[in-house]
Amino acid sequence: MKCEWVRENIVLQVYGELADDARHELEQHVARCADCAAELKAEQEFHALLAQDRAADATPNLVAASRMRLQEALETAKQGSFFSRLAFDPANWLRQVKFSPALASAILIFGFAGGIVTTYKFIPHSTTGIVQGPATVPVQTSIAGIDSISQDPNTNQISIKYKAVSEEQKQGSLNDQDIQQLLLYAAHNNYNSGVRVDSVDLLAKRSGDLQVREALMYALQNDTNPGVRLKSLDALGNYVKDDTNVRDAVLRALVNDDNSGVRIEALRLIEPVKADGSVRGVLMALAAKDQSTYIKSQARTMLAQLPEID
């Protein structure tokens, strides 16, 4: 029984794929069982034999030729899904509803006051393409999802395309309340993490706003995409000193995030407030027993730089 288990796991041992405890078990057994020891040796020898044959790298010529051929084909290739994304896709819409219960009850956006109306472009979509309509703005709109966010580098105008009953597009500056509302909505709810990255990116520029910071903290704690979390973290960085909610959120990320890049960034950000009681407590816990040796040693270094407390 034991020998059978060992035979099945020898290959994993040779490829360094055994968990530490299983490896220990296997090594213990092999030290006592001559048959299994012989089998391990045979597998290792076989591995060494195979290792003499390596997969050759592609030659620079092949790489260059392949790239050129691809470039040529890309000239004429259509990004099917990119263009089809502009059209209304019922399946996709249902998917969004499924992933975001808030959508089912529709989000209301207010504040389309008369004075600013002219700065908006309202572009309804149909399955036939984009029709640029007159600047008609609904007083309130139900939003069913946000498709894309982009900023024109020349004018700093932000375009947000979102789904209502039909698809609409809104343009305005970052100071625009409606734009802010849409960005906050996108950071919270959008199914496409690329769109969430974009909204967090833009929101970061307004992190002085309390509501924006709340959205960023929400993203830091809840977003499934580490890239989005990292962006939120960086946007919050300047507020660890003055906003204790932000400090707590960064500490939570430092302790709980499952992405080591996010954790390391969080650790870097709390450095200026390491003398703070709550921060010190977290650092001590990390220094004592964190699974990441880097974080453990960094926490120790940071603590060592602090003046002793009585």
Partner 1 sequence: MRGRMAGQERRIDDTMLIREAQRGNRAAFEELVRHYDQAVLRLALHLTGTEQDAQDVYQDAFLKAYKNIGNFRFECSFYTWIYRIVTNLCLDHLRKRNVRKEDAPVAKDPSGGEYDLLDQVPDVRAGANPERDLMRRQLGARISGALEKLTPRERMVFELKHYHGLKLRTVGEILQTTEETAKNTLFRATQKLRGALADMR
Residues 221-259 as b or e (16 or more Cβ within 10 Å = b): eebebbbbbbbbbbbbbebbeebeebbebbbebbeebee
Nearest-angstrom CA–CA distance, 158 and 152: 6
Nearer to partner 1, 211 or 297 (CB): 297
Q: Which stretch binds Zn ion (CB under 5 A): 2-10, 86-94, 118-126, 174-182?
A: 2-10
For strand 107-109 and strand 158-163, is the pairing parallel, antiparallel, or unpaired?
Answer: unpaired
Which residue of 21, 34, 82, 101 would you call a contact of partner 1, by CB under 8 A? 82
Residue 19 is a binding residue for partner 1 (CB under 8 A): no
Residue 307's CB: how many other CB atoms inside 10 A?
5
Among the residue ranges 21-29, 163-171, 209-217, 221-229, the one whose residues contact partner 1 (CB under 8 A): 221-229
Fill in the DSSP letter of residue 57: P
Given candidates 119, 157, 177, 193, which one binds partner 1 under the rule CB under 8 A?
193
To which residue do tokens 């962006």 refer? Answer: 231
Q: Give, as one character, the DSSP assignment of residue 1.
A: -
Q: Does 177 bind partner 1 (CB under 8 A)?
A: no
CA-based nearest residue to 6, from 18, 15, 16: 18
Q: Is 17 a binder of partner 1 (CB under 8 A)?
A: yes
User: Can residue 306 be called a binding residue for Zn ion (CB under 5 A)?
Assistant: no
Entry field: residues in the chain: 310
Q: Is 37 among the residues that bind Zn ion (CB under 5 A)?
A: no
Cβ neighbours, 10 Å, residue 212: 22
Whichever of 105 and 291 has its CB closer to partner 1, that residue is 291
DSSP for residue 246: H
CB nearer to partner 1: give 99 or 110.
Answer: 99
Does 46 participate in binding partner 1 (rule CB under 8 A)?
yes
Binds partner 1 by CB under 8 A, chosen from 21, 71, 154, 277 = 71
Give the footprint of partner 1 on this chain (CB under 8 A). Answer: 8, 11-12, 15, 17, 42-43, 45-46, 49-50, 52-58, 62-63, 65-67, 69-71, 73-74, 77-82, 84-85, 148, 150, 191-194, 197-198, 225-227, 230, 260-261, 264, 294
